Amino acid sequence: MKAIEAHAHLRRNAKGFDKIVESGIFEEIWLMDLSGVRLNGIEFATREEILQATKDFKGVVRAFGYLDLDGATEQPDILKEMGFVGLKPYKPHFPYSDERYFPIYERAQALRMPVLFHTGLVAKGPAWGIEKSKRSFGPINMQPQNLAAIAEAFPDLKIMQGHLGWPYIEQTEQNLYYYKNITCDVSGFRRCVGDLPSFFDKKCNDGSESLRFFNQKTLFATDQFYGAEADNAAALKIFEFWKLYFELVGSVYWRWGQKEETEKFFYSNAAEIRDYCGWE
């Protein structure tokens, strides 16, 4: 089965990542740059390390550059010139939909750089006053509903919503239902796996030429921090979990488990973003 890992991270001084890439299990791995961000003691790879991985494994590893929404408007241009193909904002000072950020989204749309937004529950960071930062606290500025305004204002911008936006699932459903340019990924999301059958099976009214369902707008991803033995192994287990879930639950009881529908979740939905953006 072909699969694109659409949302993952790389640790500083990663070990064993080359074996994951060369195993052929994933046709592509999309790494999100969070250099400069520390979560639960994890030190993420530097920009240089991530970009080097894209050179070492050209065509397999893709990189999304860290986007400081409170920074300069020309960041998308700079990051694309460096070799990043997409953008990854995190904990902005204002809600994602704040119009102060619109010039940045306008540049991303013009450059055909998809933006993967963290949505929903977020890992706890340093307390206020410990580090000087414009980052916000908690998930309030990263609720899925903020992406609706961006999708409406920039209909040609590919918007990827990370983590299904849990626990704001109703907001996620509204986004997928109405906006053609919004997709979501399942990375880090297995809390409400019992609710997923009906989620995947819901119809969209997003203006697509043909009828689409939510499984056609959902991407396989793990959100693992590649570079530590436990995380490398966990990513492969998560892949097997979703394969079995689609095979043993979906194909028996639900439309989305059929082979041609499963392929969309694991590969085609992400490939559609890649092909639209013209990545080499």
Contact (Cβ atoms closer than 8 angstroms) between residue 101 and residue 75: no
Could you report the per-residue pLDDT of 120-139, keeping only the tens digit for each? 877 666 666 655 555 777 77
Which residues, in sequence order, are CB contacts of 127 under 8 Å at separation 6+?
A: none
Q: Which residues does residue 65 pair with via DSSP β-bridges, in sequence order?
A: 87
The per-residue pLDDT for 127 is 67
Which residues, in sequence order, are CB contacts of 7 under 8 Å at separation 6+?
A: 30, 32, 116, 160, 162, 185, 187, 219, 221, 222, 223
Contact (Cβ atoms closer than 8 angstroms) between residue 124 and residue 132: no
Highest mean pLDDT: which of 38-42, 55-59, 137-141? 55-59
Q: How far apart are CA 138 and CA 31, in angstroms?
A: 23
Look up tokens 């287990």; give the residue: 237
Residue 13 pLDDT greater than 70, yes or no: yes
Start-to-end CA span in the chain (Å): 22
Q: Which residues does residue 44 pair with via DSSP β-bridges, in sequence order?
A: 11
Could you report the per-residue pLDDT of 58-84, keeping only the tens digit for each? 999 999 999 999 999 999 999 999 999
Q: How far apart are CA 54 and CA 164, in angstroms?
A: 27
CA angle 17, 22, 25 (to 5 degrees): 95
Average pLDDT, rounded, for the chain = 93
Measured CA distances, 150 to 94, 145, 210, 232, 257 (Å) = 14, 10, 23, 34, 31
Which residues, in sequence order, are CB contacts of 48 under 8 Å at separation 6+?
A: none
Of 17, 63, 11, 16, the closest CA to residue 42 belongs to 11
Measured CA distances, 53 to 32, 59, 244, 275 (Å) = 12, 10, 30, 21
Of 197, 198, 195, 202, the closest CA to residue 175 belongs to 202
Helix (H, G, I), strand (E, B) or coil at 32: strand
Could you report the per-residue pLDDT of 202-232, keeping only the tens digit for each? 999 999 999 999 999 999 999 999 999 999 9
Q: Residue 156 burial (CB < 10 Å; 0-12/13-18/19+)? A: exposed
| Residue percentage of the chain with pLDDT more than 70 | 95
pTM of the model: 0.95
Give the start-end residues of each E strand in 86-133: 86-89, 115-118
Q: Which residues does residue 118 pair with via DSSP β-bridges, in sequence order?
A: 162
Contact (Cβ atoms closer than 8 angstroms) between residue 44 and residue 257: no
